Amino acid sequence: MTSPSIPEPPAAGGEKDSLVGSLERQRRTFAWKALDLNEIQLRQGIAMSTLTIGGLLKHLALVEHEYFHIRIGGNSAKEPWVTVDFDADPSWEWRSAAQDSANYLKNLWLSTVEDSRSTLTAALEVSGVETLARWKFRDGRTPSVRRILLDLIEEYGRHNGHVDLLREAIDGRVGEDPPSDFFF
């Protein structure tokens, strides 16, 4: 599984390429910080926080699944998410990640990203970023693919800040961009 060959958004691209490029840059940065860690490292936190990179992998897999598979694709939830009662346990993905293996967490995120890419490609073929999701907000409004991409870019931006701190505490890795030869 490899990411697109362009490691960042185009310098002067169109809206679709800039949004997708920005999301891919966020995903690539996250992958660089998270995917080469072992189980102990994925469970390591900092200070008084319960946040872990393993929890971030599972949380971002859930967000990818929700935004692309369900909201854009109009599909029903699938495992491991379909049987979770998030009303009773709203932090399930964060908490349960501590019981998952490193390989499971990495593969869950990677396979969900791959599914998301396929769903996004199909949606963009309809009307580009103007394509409407197959899901509605509680007030009845239907978001566009553009809006969902912006939401996901913001989600990754926030969590890349978390993974920066966690990774630095684990082994000192710092930096904004992976090496040019890093692909996942």
How does pLDDT run across 142-172, given as a tens digit for each residue? 999 999 999 999 999 999 999 999 999 999 9
| Cα 143 from Cα 129, distance rounded (Å) | 10
Reported confidence tier of residue 4, pLDDT bands at 50, 70, 90: low
pLDDT in tens, 15-48: 999 999 999 999 999 999 999 999 999 999 998 8
d(CA 174, CA 81): 32
| Domains of the chain and CATH, by start | 15-171 (1.20.120.450)
Question: CA angle at residue 134 from 64 to 76, to 5 degrees?
Answer: 60
pLDDT, tens digit, 9 for 90 and up, residues 89-129: 999 999 999 999 999 999 999 999 999 999 999 999 999 99
pTM of the predicted model, to two decimals? 0.93
- Please state, in angstroms and rounded to a whole number, the distance separating the CA atoms of residues 70 and 75: 5
